Structures are given as structure tokens and as C-alpha cells.
Amino acid sequence: MISNFKGKTAVLTGAGSGFGLECARIGARLGMNLVLVDVQQDALDAATTELTAQGATVLARKVDVSSAEQMQALAQAVQQRFGAPHFVFNNAGVGAGGLVWENSLKDWEWVLGVNLWGVIHGVRLFTPMMLDAAQKDPSFQGHIVNTASMAGLLTPPNMGIYNVSKHAVVSLTETLYQDLKLVSDQISASVLCPYFVPTGISQSHRNRPADMAEQKPTQSQLIGQAMSDKAVGSGKVTAAQVAQKVFDAIAADTFYIYSHPKALGNVSDRMNAIVGQQNPPDPFAERPEIGVGLKAALRAGGA
């Protein structure tokens, strides 16, 4: 249970927009030191200006979270400036769709690099720093929040590359939670599994590195992009509301954080199928028109 955030240090990747920025805004209001990390310089600059104006102490770093070297340099900079962070939000993420066999090698490297390796680097670099601080100070309390997705608990079609990355983050974070409980009562972890929330992730290709340049999009990828744009853009739950859920979860040591708890019915169906040794259920059972439309669009395109 954590009740006091004032004066504590938080590292936030993907801090230039979406959940990362909204969590940083809450952190600023609570009087926290903020380490803002993003790959998009203009968004990072804007966030730094805004939060500094609110009185927050800010360390801003442009970092590609998929890079072990850049993340190592970030960890060293945090240690030198603030010491061990109390909170780490491994939040940076990118989206990608399409039929799973149509994703290029570069697609896989880009999505897994950011969504999975970014979290791995955050965990492997900052957890030892936090555990060391906890050993030296019995009053130290820390928490790591990894951003996955409801796609980490479900397997919606035409977005397999994203599903794979987010399932891995859920597994990693569940294991992190169990591992931490073995060695410390002072540090815990949570996994954030948002559904469709307007954050900008559907336009994440804006930050795709040149060396990860994508091939001409396939029909299934174009369809997936259009569906993602529509679903994310029409989301009623805001990133700010989700960020507040994250801080509430940290305070209560709640592991699973959901933006749309009603979507858990789909998770229950999937789990029941697994336990019952049944084939995967229809992901569009509650919205059959979506499945019918997707199938028709894909088959019309000769996929």
C-alpha cells in the first residue's frame, strides 16, 4: 500500500503522449520527480515545458526503448540525478495489424522491439536499482507498471503481431510480480490492460525508424489500420481516466488494471475454452457484424 508520492521519482517511457503523459501529469500534481522518456522529440519537449511549468523537477531523455544501449544510458542518468526510481512506467508502445503471415521481418522487429524489449529493458535495468535501494532503506517503496493491452489477454484476428507482443508483456509482468514477492515486501508490480482508448497509438507508425521502414502495406494491414483508427478514435474512456486508475492501483497494490472491465467477458470465454479444451471462441460473438465485415473485406481483397 503506497499513499505518499510526493518527492518520489518516476520513470515514464512513452511520456510524450497517451497514458505516459497523463501519468506524468498526475505525478506533477503529486509533487513527484519525473523522468520523461520518448522517441518523439517535439512531443517530449512539449511535455517537458508543460510539466516544468507546473513546478515538477523533470529529466527528459529522447530514447528508443528497444535499444539496450540507450536504455542503459537512461538508467545511468536516472541513478546519477535522482538515485533509484520509486516508480517505473514501462509504457511505450506501437501498434501494427494485418494477417500474421503477412507481417514482414521488419514489422516483427519494430513491434517486438518497442512493445516487448522496451519493457524487458525497463525491468532488467531498474528493478535491481530499486531492490538495492529497498535493502538500504526499510521505508523505500516502489512499483513497476508495465503497459500491455486487452490484446494481451485475447487473440483478436488480423493483429497477431500486436497480440504476441502484449501477451508476452502480461506473462513477463505476472512473473515479475511473483519474483518480487519472493525477495521483497517493498516493491510490487502491475500490468495495465487497456481496451480502445484514444491515445495516438493507432498512428504510432509516425515514429517508425528509417531502418525499420515498412514495405507497401498489404490489404489486410490497410484494413487493420482502418479498423484500429475507428475503434481507438471512438473510445469513450479517456487516457486521463486510465492514468488515474493506474495510480489508484499502485496505491492499493492491485495487479490487473483495466480500462474497460466489461470486456473481461471475452477473456472469460477464452479461458473457459482453454480449460475446457475447446477451440478458440468467436472473438466477435457480441458484435457479429464486425466479424462479418472483416471477413468480407479480407476475402474481397484476395487475402
Catalytically active residues are 162
Q: What is the DSSP letter of 42?
A: H
What's at 34, amino acid-wise? L
| Joined grid coordinates for residue 159 | 493483429
| Joined grid coordinates for residue 148 | 500491455
Scan for cell 471512438, then name that residue: 234
| Joined grid coordinates for residue 7 | 518527492
113 neighbors 56 (Cβ within 8 angstroms): no
Q: What is the largest CA-CA distance in the chain?
A: 63
85 neighbors 130 (Cβ within 8 angstroms): yes
Q: Which residue from 97, 37, 102, 42 is spatially nearest to 232, judged by alpha carbons?
A: 97
Q: What are phi and psi of 213, to 5 degrees?
A: -55, 135
Alpha helix (H) ranges present in 33-117?
Answer: 41-53, 68-82, 105-112
Exposed (0-12), middle (13-18) or buried (19+): which is 198, by Cβ within 10 Å? middle
Going along the chain, which residue ranges are E strands?
9-13, 33-38, 57-62, 87-90, 142-147, 187-193, 256-258
